[in-house]
Chains A and B, each alone.
Chain A
Amino acid sequence: MQTNVPAELGEKLFPKEGQQAFLDSIEPEDLVYFLLNVGDGDTQLFLLPAREADGVRRAFVVDVATTGKLPGLLQTLLGTKLLPKLPDDGYLFPLVVATHPHDDHIGGMPEFLTSEWGKNVRELWEPGYYHTSESYIEMMRALEDADPHIQHTQPTSGTTRFLGRLRVQVLSPSIALRTRFDTYGIDLNDASIALRLEFPASRVEQGRFRRTYVRPKIRTFILGADSLLASWSQVLVDFPELRPDKAPTARVIQKALGRDALRAEIFKVPHHASKHGVTLGLVEVVQPSLSLVSSVGGGGKYNFPHLVALEAIREARQPTTLSQKKRKDDYLLGVHYTAARIKDGDCLGSIATVLSPTSRKREIWRFCDEPADPIQLDNARRFSP
């Protein structure tokens, strides 16, 4: 079967270390980002740093593609040092995002919202694009039944929510796209809620009788959902690059607001790296050092990930078109696939990225699960280039 996911990787890059090593690698203030292997689909879980008040982490969910897999992971984590117990306030999930109503993004959302986990959801974002599928109709039914304990929001670009030390900002849909939803005049994928995350969001250092405004080193994510060209073109209008970046005005704006709004360390590649979701210009603006692709790796009719999209990501990371230099391997360019395999044939599967708020620490773990398999922490392999 033809595939654009690179050939098998050496096992030495991913030594098996198991559950204890995985758990021991994570400090209470670290952010843990799981990108689950669900084939051509998205299920993402963020474990936020433990709150000082109760020592318990909260979680943030972006899409639930399939039934079983996310609840299974949560059940596995519950009782470990990552999630020793549920918070006393009853809201493990201050925010859940259903980026858009395609089955490969919300197929498991009705089950999730209806389950015991759903009782721990405080707010749900969805774009407001109604779809005729079972998953969408049942998700809205679950939301109706949950009323009023789940706050419902339809965000547009610029909407921002602070979840403890994580800042969540909506890049897309823009208001212009949102206005066109009711006409079915845009592709459903372009209804996607694309997000930019900043970690840590904290800006105030507090001492006795004094506070200081600080600018920490920020770790940033862009989660592209299934946004396509129409979305990204609007995003570039709403969040323009500051050019020329050495100009006094740009420097002042950057000082006040941070660097270019679309620059990000971690890029969850849009639309499973389809050729309609990724352009070279977009990746050059984002400049990610880590690009994560969630898709099946079997080629197929959609043939995700598309070669032209992968080449755009590679070219942005290592320009070779003019120099004709030899292209580095994807793992050296920071490109990782849920569908990647190691040489003995095992799927590398779901990805966990661990980020520190105070240092450059960034660890990548893999769990060797096929799309329909549960995640077992015992299978944890640490990426060790």
Chain B
Amino acid sequence: MTKPGMEVWQPEGIDLPGATLQTLSYVVVDEVVENAVRLSVSAWPSVDEAGRLRFEGGERPRSVPADLKQLRAFVKAKRGGGGRSSQLRMGTVLAVRVDKSVLPDPESNEEMREHASATPRLPDEWMEPPVYDITGAARDKAKEAFYAAVAPTVKVGRRP
């Protein structure tokens, strides 16, 4: 359910209805240290009237440890159609349904301990296929966020 004045974000490469998209999570490869990955898991974003991606779930993204090789194999085997596949590296974004009930609350001491746990979570413990690689669309939104913050936007049709 989106808030008034908001629309469900529909990135290129995923041909799913809005109601289905809202059940997915926005999963970012945030940090990679050798084979250890920190994933940043957010609720599916909306787009506001200004065209901005908005994460308004009311809570911080969850931080989930993963193993790079396991994650790469899972994404390769369970990839959904459409989106262009990219390497898994910092900045890669996946769209996938997530069982949040098995993940700790963001910023709790439990999450801090999980983040430090020796055993990363297996992807199929908490991710439900298919997995969509939406890195390209997400990078475009990140660039938009960056440039709109540092310089004025221009109205449609007034492109310099």
Q: A194 → chain B, closest Cβ, in Å?
A: 18
Cβ B91 vs Cβ A300 within 8 A = no
Residues of A within 8 A of B26 (CB): 134
Cβ A274 vs Cβ B28 within 8 A = no
A selection of 20 A-B contacts at a CB cut-off of 8 Å is: A66-B107, A67-B107, A107-B60, A131-B90, A132-B28, A132-B91, A132-B93, A132-B135, A132-B142, A133-B30, A134-B26, A135-B60, A137-B141, A137-B142, A141-B53, A141-B149, A143-B150, A301-B120, A371-B112, A372-B108
Q: Mark B90-132, 1 if CB is under 8 A from A, else 0.
A: 1111000000000000011101110111111000000000000
Residues of A within 8 A of B91 (CB): 131-132, 184, 188
Q: In the complex, A134→B93 CA distance in Å? A: 11
Number of interface residues of B (CB under 8 A): 45
Given A2-B118, A132-B142, A135-B61, decide whether A140 and B40 contact each other with a Cβ distance below 8 A.
no
Q: Is the interface of B mostly helix, strand, loop or mixed?
A: mixed
Q: In the complex, A138→B61 CA distance in Å? A: 11
Count of chain A to chain B residue pairs whose CB atoms are closer than 8 Å in the complex: 134
Cβ B145 vs Cβ A39 within 8 A = no
Residues of A whose CB lies within 8 Å of any CB of B are 1-2, 39-40, 66-68, 102-104, 107-108, 128, 130-138, 140-141, 143-144, 147, 152, 154, 184, 187-188, 274, 276, 296-302, 370-373
Name B109's closest neighbour in chain A (CB-CB): A372
Query: Which 4 residue pairs of A and B lie closest in terms of their CB atoms, listed nearest first?
Result: A300-B116, A298-B116, A140-B145, A140-B149
Q: In the complex, A188→B28 CA distance in Å? A: 13
Within 8 Å by CB of B115, from A39, A67, A132, lies A39
Within 8 Å by CB of A187, from B40, B90, B115, lies B90
Q: Is B22 an interface residue (CB 8 A)?
A: no
Residues of A within 8 A of B92 (CB): 132
* A131, A132, A147, A373 — most chain B CB neighbours (10 Å): A132
Q: Mark B118-160, 1 if CB is under 8 A from A, else 0.
A: 1110000000000000010011011101101110000000000
Cβ A141 vs Cβ B117 within 8 A = no
Q: B67 → chain A, closest Cβ, in Å?
A: 8
Within 8 Å by CB of A130, from B42, B61, B93, B145, lies B145
Cβ A102 vs Cβ B31 within 8 A = yes
Q: A345 → chain B, closest Cβ, in Å?
A: 14
Cβ A300 vs Cβ B115 within 8 A = yes
Cβ B146 vs Cβ A103 within 8 A = no
Residues of A within 8 A of B53 (CB): 137, 141
Q: B123 → chain A, closest Cβ, in Å?
A: 15
